[in-house]
Amino acid sequence: MSLLLPLIALFLLVLTPVLLLQLYFSFHQWTVYLSTWWDAEYVGFDLFDSVLTDPRFGWAALRSLAFAASSTIGCFVFGFILAYLMYKPFRGQSLYYIIFILPMLTVPVVVAYTAEMMLYRNGPINDAISRLLNVDFQASWLTNPHLALTTAALLEIWNWTPFSFIIMLAGLTSIPKEPIEAAEILGASKWRIFWEVQVPLLRPVILLALVLRFREAMA
């Protein structure tokens, strides 16, 4: 119980006041530059009604789900591949580990600002593509509605693949050796060992990685 006390204190002192404040703003109409928040007008469920009846809300929800689903799958696939390549010790493993987790250690604001500069209409990405294809390529990666969602998902995948990588690497290294050794003695191929031994043992870890990543992507 003593181990949970810091977590309980954090929830009560930090998260609970924020939650109560969010609930307060959900039922009150407040404009930050017109009045103080404690003088906000009570409007009941009017804010919920205006949001849920807005036709743009449905499309926004679908885009959020598409973004979360695609980025979650992308992070998991790349993270799992990297973890599978890394879970057996080899020379220089620590260096590769540091390189692979660097994107997650980068502050999201820095990622967004750098991506904006690189993906600008006249930025280095379009310039490199123009030189490579010998055409005047000026795609609007962040403003074109047909490209913006894909671009944002790819940036999210790059930024958070290390998260799935760390979880899956921990899962792979914790698999007991006995089932794998038994399958090898019986003559099972590496593919059958992976699909019929390792993946079933990794199901709880895979579920954890997918749920946590999807939850963060929807936040």
User: Could you read off the pLDDT of 15-66 as tens digits, one per residue?
Assistant: 788 888 888 888 888 776 667 777 778 888 887 888 888 888 888 889 999 9
Cα torsion at 100, 94, 190, 81 (round to 10°)? 0
Helix then strand count (H, E) for the chain reads: 11, 2
Q: How far apart are CA 66 and CA 149, in angstroms?
A: 9
Q: What is the pTM of this model?
A: 0.79
Distance, in Å, from the CA atom of 59 to the CA atom of 24, rounded to the nearest integer, reads 27
Largest Cα span, the chain? 75
Residue 200's pLDDT band, with cuts at 50, 70 and 90, is very high
> What is residue 4's predicted lDDT score, i.e. its pLDDT?
64
Q: State the Cα–Cα distance between residues 153 and 156, nearest whole angstrom.
A: 5
What count of residues does the chain have? 219
Q: What is the distance between the alpha carbons of residues 153 and 38, in angstroms, rounded to a whole number?
A: 38
Average pLDDT, stretch 101-128?
A: 88
Under DSSP, the state recorded for 135 is S
Q: Which amino acid is at 27?
A: F
CA separation for the pair 140, 202 (Å, rounded): 40
Average pLDDT over every residue of 127-156: 89
Provide the pLDDT confidence category of residue 156 given band limits of 50, 70 and 90: very high
Q: Which of 26-35, 130-139, 141-150 has the lowest mean pLDDT?
A: 26-35
A 10 A CB-CB count for 72 gives: 25
With a cut of 80, say whether residue 3 has pLDDT above it.
no
Burial class (CB in 10 A: 0-12, 13-18, 19+), 83: buried
> Is the predicted pLDDT of residue 139 greater than 90, yes or no?
no
Determine the pLDDT at residue 17: 83
- Sorting pLDDT into bands at 50, 70 and 90, what band is 5? confident
